[in-house]
Amino acid sequence: MRIEAYNQVQQLYSNSRKAVKAPAASTGSRSDQIQISSIGKDFQSAKAAVNASSDVREDVIAPLKAEIASGTYFVSGESFAERMLQKYEESSSLYAQ
């Protein structure tokens, strides 16, 4: 192995590292800025509308609560089983595709 060749490569590498200097940091203050697209603004307004709305639909829940409280709420076992089978068939057909 030739030591002179190694020294020449090392000198070239040292010289090239000295030639490339990092840009000096500006002394003025810079601030970050953000720009939101119109689609992003639409998403924000939709999210705000969803957050402002209630999670519970009282017009649907109130009659059910009253029936449960009075003891008149009844669920047919047959209709419940039919609904479960229907949901199962729907979900299994989605996975079959």
| Per-residue pLDDT tens over the stretch 68-91 | 999 999 989 999 999 999 999 988
Question: Looking at the whole model, is its pTM more than 0.85?
Answer: no
Query: How far is Cα 45 from Cα 38, in angstroms, rounded to an integer?
Result: 11
Q: What would the 3-class secondary structure string for the chain be?
A: CCHHHHHHHHHHHHHHHHHCCCCCCCCCCCCCCCCCCHHHHHHHHHHHHHHHCCCCCHHHHHHHHHHHHHCCCCCCHHHHHHHHHHHHHHHHHHHHC
Tell me the pLDDT tens digit for each residue of 30-56.
888 888 888 988 888 999 888 888 888
Both tokens of 85, joined, read: 């089978």
Residue 3 has pLDDT above 90, yes or no: no
